[in-house]
Structure 1
């Protein structure tokens, strides 16, 4: 399975591996990707149970790709997760590797899980200063499908605030490196569950910064995130106008609605139309 930014964009919903009663709702919430979590949402004593219970998450067809967030490969539970995933009868479309700090983490997951007829999408969760230092090497991993920002772990490690401004720099660094490598990036969830205005603001900031989508931990967040990351009819119309202007000018600098426009604007418009399956 290969990764494409727009197909893996918009809302990513994450649900605890022991909460089998939530599996169906998460899968049918309208997210681009539904991920079952056996890392942070599961207590150490319950890892084995979650590992076993989570296989049911992949047992039935779903309207979106299904993934699993395993435990870090620097832990015994992470190694046990890999062994269990390799033996699953129903397998995830996508594997999220937490605490990724080297390309070797991605290579190890691929070497263990890749099999005839099965090649899972592998995404790195970037959530530590060491990971940011190693980003260029991580992003060169051949089997890497994309990256996700782990804001809570990062903040805990560096002891910064949980507000947007405190982590603006690392978000920018992640977007810059991922874009240079041609890899999509997904922003961290918003932890305020009951304030849709905060969620919308965070999602808009993430989209404006260049993220392809945003994680969430509650089904009611999905619609807001999808709405923010879905181009509006006006944006699509503007993109079509830009492409038309580019064609009419032969690709040279021109004016559109009183504004100077050239190659960067034309390229962005074509990308937007391609990602929304629209024709110019």
Structure 2
């Protein structure tokens, strides 16, 4: 399965931007029917988005529905049932429990590939592993802004470190690709890249974006350097030559966990 590094959100009430978003270089595109669309535009945006998706040739674009416990969310689900589209994923906001994701799994047609829950509450964080550990869930997103509002905490790196670390652990245990929250200051590309590198160091290897300009910064942060790739190749080659026995490369002992990391670097940076 391809390793996705980036996801670009585009407002569901801006159909003039859909094609542009799909050409912006992000690995995935998510048309947003939730936060980006006001209450008065929910119905018309839903109709426009599903109509556009039914005619689109883009393969990695889908949508974020409204909360499944809301009237708008139930209307989104009903519309998806009736449309019966083939979609790579459906993103679900404010998922607090496994039962919610199971209900969504039962409700959505088989043409929807992955369920993509957003963890953005204290309760959701407590249940993250159970939410991620569902067969149809392959990706998840940390919704830091709503999470911070739920806790009434600051949105600094330090205050959210625990939540990020716990989600990274839950996602790894459930073999789920975790996306970090978009950088909310769209044009601060330097900090976008820096904080993406920090998230990568925690084990978060993908990030969402709210502006096309952020994609290149995210990709730079998540891509291994030429030296790291060559080192990974050397480690794998030496380990294979040693028939899986401990070997020394550049003065360092190379054992199975180091090889696992090297293989992951190569897989995530395939050209």
TM-score scaled by length of structure 2: 0.93
Determine if the alignment matches structure 1 residue 250 to structure 2 residue 243.
Answer: yes
Conserved? CA contact 2:233–2:262, under 8 Å: yes
Offset, 1:76: 1.0
Determine if the alignment matches structure 1 residue 78 to structure 2 residue 84.
Answer: no
| Residue 31 of structure 1: aligned partner | 26
| Residue 226 of structure 1: aligned partner | 219
Q: How many residues align?
A: 270
Offset, 1:262: 1.8
The structure showing larger relative contact order (alpha-carbon pairs under 8 Å, at least 6 residues apart) is 1
Conserved? CA contact 1:254–1:260, under 8 Å: yes
The 1-side partners of 2:258 and 2:148 are apart by: 35
The 2-side partners of 1:99 and 1:274 are apart by: 31
Determine if the alignment matches structure 1 residue 215 to structure 2 residue 211.
Answer: no
> In the superposition, relative to structure 1, how do residues 8 and 56 fare at CA in structure 2: closer, same or farther (>3 Å)?
farther
| Residue 118 of structure 2: aligned partner | 125
Offset, 1:107: 2.1
| Residue 8 of structure 2: aligned partner | 13
Offset, 1:71: 0.6
| Residue 60 of structure 2: aligned partner | 65
Q: CA RMSD in A?
A: 1.7
Q: What's the secondary structure of 2:240's corresponding residue?
A: helix
| Residue 240 of structure 1: aligned partner | 233
Q: Structure 1 residue aligned with 2:189, among 186, 196, 221?
A: 196
Offset, 1:48: 1.0
Q: Show CA shifts across 1:166-224 (max 9, x none).
A: 10110000000111111111111001112211011011112111112100000111111
Give ranges in structure 2 of 5+ residues lacking alignment.
Answer: none
Q: What's the secondary structure of 1:141's corresponding residue?
A: coil
